[in-house]
Structure 1
Amino acid sequence: MTDAALPSRQQISDAVSALGWRLVLGALHTEVRVPSLTDAAAVAVTAASADGAQDRLGVDIRADRAVLRVRSACGVTTQDIRLAQAISAAVAAGGRVTTVGAVSVQALEIAIDALDIPAVRPFWKAVTGYIDESGPSDLTAGLVDPAGRGPAIWFQQMAAPRVPGGQQPRNRLHLDVDVPHDEAPARIGAALAAGGVLLSDRRAPAFTVLADAEGNEVCVCTWQGRD
């Protein structure tokens, strides 16, 4: 695995999973549990001091944790893997640990079905104030919140319009919930136990299509099955 080519999703996951990082929607995520906001800020300083962190690291500081995200503009690279490993080592040297955490890392996407993506995409870009997703992405024609707070938006190409009341009526918008690969089965099981319906697992583990009791759809997604 060299810097000349992006590593596969499997290579990325294998390299960092044991350190408490998870690959979710094209970025590496972890958290460090702490007893106070001051300690979370100290973890952020430690992580930001790692070589290469300045243009690859994002940090969300909370009173009980520091949530870390690593990604280059072109996707997760071998340099990003080394950065995650270096951050974990630096955090460990300070007596703490990078971990998936009690509250799972995840990413939320809004998927919009469209017959003519170029015709509808500018509207959604303007009305949300979002910007183009940079570099290679799992998002088709993706739009992202420039502040990094809101869910990503992507567009699913349709061959024919949905027909209300047809044999298989479906939503024009649905949610995608991207979760760590090792947590997807439990998340799906919980959704089914809460009254959900399994519509399709044909593309699992990349994504599993579920619906609520009234047919509103959601996909539980992982990085697996996409290379």
Structure 2
Amino acid sequence: MSASDRPSRQEISDAVTGLGWRLVLGAVYTEVTVSSLAAAGEVAALVVAAVRAGGQGHVSTDIRSDRVGVRLQSAAAATVTDVDIALAQAISSVLTERNVRLAPASVQALEIAVDALDIGAVRPFWQAITGYVDEAGPSDLTDGLIDPAGRGPAIWFQQMDAPRPQRNRIHLDIDVPHDVATTRIAAAIAAGGTLLSDARAPAFWVLADPEGNEACICTWQGSD
């Protein structure tokens, strides 16, 4: 699949938001709250029935006693494709028919960003120490590394222009649905944080805790 064949981030978001999904860090997510582990298993079974064989290599679920998370992304392309959008439509249709309410506002993805002067020199260390693998295909990450089991946060590398010995050089990127970013930022500021920069908003906002340690709130917007 060429870049021209892939839907843009805006097209993806427009296609799935009304269905109860959100685009976060190159995948689309939704969640369903449940009352028991048994109920979670039933929801997961509905998801599998909705996608059938077409979900292979596209759908992953996280089953808990209080919720079921569903993630859609092409494993081969490492991005959301038209197939994933169609699967989101199928899943939403089946769950809605069963009066299951999708609640995407709580979904998020966590990244660890490593600031480096020489990315080529430091990246192999992080790959070796974590056991992570190269992210396949096009990506929302720069030189991204991912957990092959899909459990840990992604790692990416940000190019530094000059040494910054008095500033933390590893920070967290918290990728959230585009329509909850401002709420999350307001909560962080109310908790004692400071907004350092919104120059790249809505792609990301840079915040710091009371001691200056930085984190970014990120969305898909502003990245196309």
Whether TM exceeds 0.5 here: the answer is: yes
SS in 1 for 2:55: coil
Distance in 1, matches of 2:164 and 2:34, equals: 49
Distance in 1, matches of 2:209 and 2:31, equals: 31
Q: Which has more helix, going by share of residues?
A: 2
Q: Tell me the number of residue pairs that the alignment of Structure 1 and Structure 2 aligns.
A: 218
Shift of 1:44: 1.1
Amino acid in the other structure paired with 1:21? W
SS in 1 for 2:68: strand
In structure 2, runs of 5+ residues without a counterpart are none
Distance in 2, matches of 1:212 and 1:39, equals: 39
Shift of 1:163: 4.0
| Contact 1:112/1:173 (8 A) holds in 2 | yes
Distance in 1, matches of 2:113 and 2:36, equals: 37
Question: Is 2:89 the counterpart of 1:92?
Answer: no
Q: Which residue of 2 aligns with 1:69?
A: 71
- Find 1:79's aligned residue among 62, 79, 83: 83
Q: Which residue of 1 aligns with 2:47?
A: 47
Q: Which residue of 2 aligns with 1:125?
A: 127
- Find 2:154's aligned residue among 144, 152, 155: 152
Distance in 2, matches of 1:190 and 1:134, equals: 35
Distance in 2, matches of 1:110 and 1:45, equals: 33
| Contact 1:19/1:99 (8 A) holds in 2 | no
Structure 1 range deviating more: 31-40 or 67-76:
31-40
| Contact 1:110/1:153 (8 A) holds in 2 | yes
Distance in 2, matches of 1:130 and 1:201, equals: 31
TM-score (norm: length of structure 2): 0.93
RMSD: 1.4
TM-score (norm: length of structure 1): 0.92
Q: Percent identity?
A: 65
- Find 1:194's aligned residue among 191, 195, 208: 191
Runs of 4+ aligned structure 1 residues displaced above 4 Å come to none
